[in-house]
Amino acid sequence: MSSAQIDELVELWRHSVAATHTFLSAEDIEGLRPLVVWGIVGLSRLYVAVEPNGRFCGFMAVETDKLAMLFVRPDCLHCGIGSALLTTAVKKFKICRVDVNEQNPVALKFYQKHGFQIFSRSEFDADGNHFPILHLQKTTK
């Protein structure tokens, strides 16, 4: 992946988070940027949804049986891109776990709609920030 493509994905992430994670300040978002770059570059299973014109509209990263990242460009929300990415992750990579910020009820509802349920909660995120995390796992039907 080229540095321009990485930059485009980071910008997609930034806009997505600004639109959906209203509990984060601009400083919080900037502080997370290095972790996102690491995820984009460091995770071997990165998948990007691309519009016919070549513009990125969403992406996900998978780590073992866990969805590590799933972000959709704000103007593409509610168009089925997130669902398509998640369905691919579940079917192709057998992901059965995902973490969601507790203050992001829209994301929680999205994952619950796809069969994920809360199995535990952490008071802090992986970096020790006081952003409670809900740990979800896929239920079988």
Taken in order of first residue, the domains within the chain and their CATH numbers are 3-138 (3.40.630.30)
Give the integer Cα–Cα distance in Å for 60 and 67.
7
What's the whole-number average pLDDT of the chain? 91
pTM: 0.89
Tens-digit pLDDT profile for residues 2-56: 899 999 999 999 999 998 888 888 888 898 888 888 888 887 789 999 999 999 9
